[in-house]
């Protein structure tokens, strides 16, 4: 009996330890999720837009640009990227809600390319033409080539590394 | 008492194991069967062939593009989008258990990618051949 009780006590401690470890692992992943909260996200946007290219943050374009992009997905920069209506509606709503509210020229047709916006050109004015053509960069549309933390919505200059 | 404890622990482990198991709608074999059901109704249907699928996969069709342009000649390896450089996870089910486990997703991507590579949708015969090939690819 005393042997059994002893074994039971030991098992009990093991169980408590295992539970404790599981709980702290859960806490760490919660904290990690919290750290990324600053960047808006939507699972459909991430999976659909992010399937073929970096999922560009909604704040990079005004709402009318996103609307124009989302209604023209059948001719999306040379590819038919048409979506089912449900996904398209969800993504459009997410993009509109988080779109740029910066002042921009509304007399012109909405811009479809982030790289043509004045803020983009101004932010990248120091980037040499040769840098854009580096094999690991290829194009100004490839944010993640230099913005090492772009996936988490962080475009801070401190985290820019131009590849060799 | 001890037995009860063990039974309880075993149950917990089982539940945890089940929770970690990703839930897939279909298996690649079921997807293949669905493609076969579709293809066998078409005139000129031939049993799916991995060999024909591999040839189709690696042949350049329109715009100098093939499936392997992005998925590489080794579908068990990681691929890269030819325009955007976005990383594409391995396509062969042996290397990526998520592949061909959702009929809707399979239909969507065949449609989109065939339009890019062949300027038309692929036939059920072509899709079945390709999947038959991908199922022969080892990790």
Task: Tell me the pairing of strands B79-80 and B87-88.
Answer: antiparallel
Q: How many of the other CB atoms lie within 10 Å of CB of B66?
A: 18
Residues of A within 8 A of B84 (CB-CB) are: 52-54, 139, 141-142
User: How is chain B split into domains, by residue range?
Assistant: 26-136
3-state secondary structure labels for all residues of chain A: CHHHHHHHHHHHHHHHHHHHHHHHHHHHHHHHHHHCCCCCCCHHHHHHHHHHCCCCCHHHCEHHHHHHHHHCHHHECCECCCCCHHHHHHHHHHHHHCCECCCCCCCCCCCCCHHHCHHHHHHCCCCCHHHHCCCCCCCCCCHHHCECCHHHCCCCHHHECCCC
Q: Name which of A164, A34, A53 is nearest A113 in CA terms.
A: A53
Q: What is the mean pLDDT of residues A39-47?
A: 93
pLDDT band at residue A151 under the 50/70/90 scheme: very high
CATH of the domain spanning B26-136: 1.10.760.10
pLDDT band at residue A29 under the 50/70/90 scheme: very low
Least confident of A29-38, A59-68, B9-18: A29-38
Is B86 a residue whose pLDDT tops 80? Answer: yes
For the stretch B87-101, pLDDT in tens is: 999 999 999 999 999
CB of A53 within 8 Å of a chain B CB? The answer is yes
Choose between A8 and A67: higher pLDDT. Answer: A67
Closest partner residue to B5 (CB to CB) among A8, A80, A145 is A8
Is A8 a residue whose pLDDT tops 70? Answer: no
Q: What is the mean pLDDT of residues A3-9?
A: 65
| Residue in B with minimal Cα distance to A77 | B83
Q: Nearest-CA distance from B67 to chain A in Å?
A: 14
Per-residue model confidence (pLDDT) at position B18: 60
Q: What is the mean pLDDT of residues A63-84?
A: 95
Is B7 a residue whose pLDDT tops 90? Answer: no
Q: Name which of A89, A77, A75, A80 is nearest A45 in CA terms.
A: A89
CB of A67 within 8 Å of a chain B CB? The answer is no
CB of A142 within 8 Å of a chain B CB? The answer is yes
CB of B2 within 8 Å of a chain A CB? The answer is yes
Per-residue model confidence (pLDDT) at position B13: 72
User: How is chain A split into domains, by residue range?
Assistant: 1-35, 43-159
pLDDT band at residue A32 under the 50/70/90 scheme: very low
Q: Of chain B residues 12-51, which have a CB less than 8 A from chain A?
A: none
What mean pLDDT, rounded, does chain A reach?
86
Closest partner residue to A141 (CB to CB) among B5, B84, B116 is B84
CB of B5 within 8 Å of a chain A CB? The answer is yes
State residue A99 phi and psi, 5-degree precision. Answer: -65, 165
Least confident of A11-15, B43-47, B62-66, B131-135: A11-15
Closest partner residue to B1 (CB to CB) among A8, A51, A53 is A8
Residues of B within 8 A of A80 (CB-CB) are: 112, 115-116
What proportion of chain B, given as a percentage, has pLDDT over 90?
81
Q: What is this model's ipTM?
A: 0.77
pLDDT band at residue A13 under the 50/70/90 scheme: low
For the stretch A77-114, pLDDT in tens is: 999 999 999 999 999 999 999 999 988 888 889 999 99
């Amino acid at each position: 009996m005393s042997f059994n009780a002893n074994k039971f006590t030991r098992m009990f401690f093991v169980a408590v330890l295992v539970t404790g470890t599981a709980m702290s692992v859960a806490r760490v992943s919660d904290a990690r999720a919290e750290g990324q909260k600053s960047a808006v996200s939507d699972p459909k946007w991430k999976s659909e837009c992010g399937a073929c290219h970096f999922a560009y943050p909604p704040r990079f374009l005004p709402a009318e640009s996103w609307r124009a992009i989302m209604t023209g997905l059948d001719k999306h920069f040379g590819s038919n990227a048409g979506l089912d209506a449900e996904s398209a509606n969800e993504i459009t709503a997410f993009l509109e809600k988080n779109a740029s509210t910066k002042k921009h020229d509304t007399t012109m047709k909405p811009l479809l390319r982030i790289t043509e916006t004045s803020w983009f050109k101004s932010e990248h004015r120091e980037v040499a033409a040769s840098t854009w053509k580096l094999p690991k960069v290829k194009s100004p549309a490839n944010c993640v080539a230099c913005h090492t933390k772009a996936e988490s919505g962080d475009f801070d200059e401190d985290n820019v590394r131009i590849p060799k | 008492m001890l037995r009860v404890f063990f039974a309880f622990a075993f149950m917990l482990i089982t539940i945890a194991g089940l929770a970690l198991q990703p839930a897939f709608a279909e298996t690649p074999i079921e997807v293949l069967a669905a493609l076969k059901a579709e293809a066998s109704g078409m005139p000129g249907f031939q049993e799916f062939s991995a060999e024909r699928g591999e040839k189709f996969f690696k042949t350049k069709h329109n715009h100098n593009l093939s499936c392997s342009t992005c998925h590489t000649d080794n579908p068990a390896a990681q691929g890269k989008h030819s325009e955007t450089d976005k990383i594409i996870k391995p396509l062969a089910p042996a290397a990526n258990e998520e592949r061909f486990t959702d009929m809707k997703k399979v239909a969507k991507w065949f449609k989109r990618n065939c339009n890019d590579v062949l300027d038309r949708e692929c036939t059920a015969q072509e899709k079945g051949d390709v999947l038959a090939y991908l199922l022969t690819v080892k990790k």
